[in-house]
Amino acid sequence: MTNHNKIEVVAAIFINDKEEVFCARRKNTGDLALKWEFPGGKIEEGESHSEALIREIKEELDVVIIVNDFFLTIDHEYDNFSLKLHSYLCSIASGSIFLHEHEECDWIHYSKLDMLDWANADMPIVEMLLKSR
């Protein structure tokens, strides 16, 4: 059995009034280079999920968010690490999106979400969003 790093992260799901979902594409580095994902990041010691999401989204996208409802938790094993991903439906309270950590971003209609090359851990979120419409 391989000794994996275990990482616990949070991810934000933004949906606009046109039924478009915010998607971010990773930079061309690391294990998940150029994969699409829901933005977020690692939970630091002592942080709640909401606190981590608010901090991470401010760092990555330069916007202030409101964490609304829990959506889904995923446990996923990658080759080099295992991930526990907690996703939440969120809304942007203030600011304009500016990418600090991602290659590109887009607002994609629900019906086209499965056309992107998603990180494997994010796929269950995509599948649940597709089923919910």
Give me the CATH topology for the region 5-131: Nucleoside Triphosphate Pyrophosphohydrolase (3.90.79)
The rounded distance, in Å, linking the Cα atoms of 66 and 132 is 21
pLDDT score of 88: 98
The rounded distance, in Å, linking the Cα atoms of 76 and 27 is 21
Spans of all domains in the chain: 5-131
Confidence of residue 3 (pLDDT cuts 50, 70, 90): low
Please give the residue that has the higher pLDDT: either 4 or 46: 46
Q: What is the tens place of the pLDDT at every residue in 10-67?
A: 999 999 999 999 999 999 998 889 999 999 999 999 999 999 999 999 999 999 999 9
